[in-house]
Amino acid sequence: MTYWLIKTTGMKQHVVLFILFTWLCALPLTGKAQDSWVVKFNSPLSESSGDFINNSNDEFIGYVAKIIPQTSIRDFYLYKIDKNGDTVLNRKFPHKQDTILSFCNIIQSNCNPEEYLVSGYGNTNFNGNYSIYDFFIKVDSNFNTIWERNYILKPNNISASYEYLPQILKKKDLGYIYGTLYDNAGNNRLVFFEMGENGDSLAYRVYEGDSAGLFLYDLYYNYDSSAYLVNVWDTHPIPLWGETQILTLDLDFNQTKVTYLPRWHSAITSRLLPGGSVVSGGLYKGILLNPYQLIDQICILKHDTSLTLTDSSYFTNPDHEIGKHEGYYNSIDYYYPNSIFVAGTYDYDIGIWVSHPSWIAIAKYDSDLNLLTEKYIGGDAYYALENITATSDGGLLITTTRYDYQTQYQEHDLYVIKLDSLDLLVGNTEHHNKLVKNAMVYPNPARDHLYVKTAVREALFALYDMGGKAVLKQPLATNGTTTKITLPAGTPQGNYLWHITYQNKIIETGKLIILK
């Protein structure tokens, strides 16, 4: 038996709701079932999040932003969640007068004693004069501050008030590397900064123009730790070619090489595999001609130690009517090299108060980029993926915002979702309330046709009226491909039930509204 725990966390309350369901297959990494849970942050404020990391004690440490109503000001909180999904610690970092804080990163800086480093930037407004600074806060296992450092890293000759996704890297020896990109109306500044273990300033380097680019996505070591790799966008651009590049920097922050990713790839975050290969996840946005169509898919790329592209794979179908989006902070992670997770938002839309449902699509690959399985979360509200973190038990931690456009007014809830190892789960109708789904069925309501997407092989889709009469049955495409199903002519408007079977067992069910 495995328990799915939904835990609601507020400032002064902790309500736990247990929903029982049974996995019908064993998990190969442990040989036994694993717990899954959901933590919902139950505040009346609109919430968002960034990093949640799996620490050396199999706990989850991360930060949550809560927006003060009628303002753009956010209070930040550090949370510690144990492996059972219980919130065991939190600390509020309130906003300061005339200052807006933005937490951007958290890393475990030391295992014994247990310590963390939080970094981000602040915007200050004194008498109408805006300035920006970067902060670094080291805390102990109880989130008590050990030291705090503030640095003005923005070059003096620019007017930037925003930084795009700063990145921090713990050095192989003592200290930290920090990278950030300052928005400056297209002529941005790419800054690298080195700190000692106690936060002392050691080195600083600024790039501008084509050497800076427009966006910063990731910062990590190369295969032998002799250089830093930096994922950027529009740095040293080639007209009509690759938008995303991997910069190679020596340990003195000199740019020594530019690797161009294939055209139309963006928002790439990366992980270094054992042996030195780099796997990257993000978004592919391409163009088809005749007829002209914009298409986008979630992608995974693999480069060897010389950063030569050796393999790639794409999931989520390229339907141009359905938008896709990478995780805001991260789209790829692994704990075991043969269980590489890539995720993104399916049916993504630009805007804050989106009035249609979406899904989080999650794929698991082996180290040769063979697709092992694909799962989905959502369909009942609008979800937007923020971050994924692979866990030591072979599972995955997902942070996502959720907006129920039918019942909520200007409020996003933050969900932290712990999944098991995501192997194929063959269930029955008793399990259809589980958060993780084997298929997506959309749109709902439907008119003349609908789409079914599943990675379950040899599955069958069936639609029934409310009296139990079969309206249609159709085999589904396999391995993550979307099947278009045309509804029979004359199908009356009304409510219907559907289910998907695999080897004569029902693995997913749902309701569908048909309009005419």
**Per-residue pLDDT tens listing for the chain (516 residues):** 333 455 555 533 333 322 222 322 333 333 334 478 899 987 788 898 878 999 999 999 999 999 888 777 889 999 999 999 999 999 999 887 778 889 999 999 999 999 999 999 998 875 556 789 999 999 999 999 999 999 999 998 888 778 989 999 999 999 999 999 998 887 899 999 999 999 999 999 999 999 999 999 999 999 999 999 999 999 999 886 668 999 999 999 999 999 999 888 888 999 999 999 999 999 998 777 666 677 889 999 999 999 999 999 998 877 767 788 889 899 999 999 999 999 999 988 877 778 888 999 999 999 999 988 888 999 888 999 999 999 988 889 999 999 988 887 778 899 999 987 754 343 333 433 367 888 889 888 899 999 998 888 889 999 999 999 999 999 997 666 789 999 999 999 999 999 999 888 888 889 999 998
Q: If DSSP codes are grouped into helix, strand and coil, which group holds residue 124?
A: strand
The count of C-alpha atoms lying within 13 angstroms of the C-alpha of 456, restricted to the half-sphere facing its C-beta, is 28
The amino acid at 259:
T
Phi, psi torsion values for 337, nearest 5 degrees? -60, -25
Alpha-carbon distance of 62 to 269, in angstroms, equals 19
> How crowded is residue 111: how many other Cβ atoms within 10 Å of its Cβ?
10
Choose among 434, 511, 428, 440: nearest CA to 481: 440
Phi, psi torsion values for 163, nearest 5 degrees? -120, 140
Alpha-carbon distance of 304 to 299, in angstroms, equals 17
> How crowded is residue 114: how many other Cβ atoms within 10 Å of its Cβ?
17
Tokens found for residue 484: 């278009």
Q: Note whether 500 and 483 are within 8 A (CB).
A: no
User: Could you tell me the CA-to-CA distances from 14 to 8, 81, 94, 428 in Å, in that order?
Assistant: 6, 12, 21, 31
Q: Note whether 180 and 153 are within 8 A (CB).
A: yes
Phi, psi torsion values for 430, nearest 5 degrees? -65, -20
Q: Note whether 397 and 385 are within 8 A (CB).
A: no
Phi, psi torsion values for 113, nearest 5 degrees? -75, 160
What distance separates the 2 farthest-apart alpha carbons in the chain? 73
2-152+261-437 in CATH: which number?
Answer: 2.120.10
CA angle 117, 216, 353 (to 5 degrees): 90
Q: Note whether 164 and 170 are within 8 A (CB).
A: no
User: Could you tell me the CA-to-CA distances from 317 to 20, 77, 161, 359, 444 in Å, in that order?
Assistant: 33, 37, 38, 13, 18
Alpha-carbon distance of 484 to 476, in angstroms, equals 9
Annotated domain spans of the chain:
2-152+261-437, 449-514
Tokens found for residue 60: 């989850």
The class that CATH gives domain 449-514 is mainly beta
| C-alpha 179: how far from chain center | 20
Q: Note whether 149 and 136 are within 8 A (CB).
A: yes
Alpha-carbon distance of 445 to 511, in angstroms, equals 10
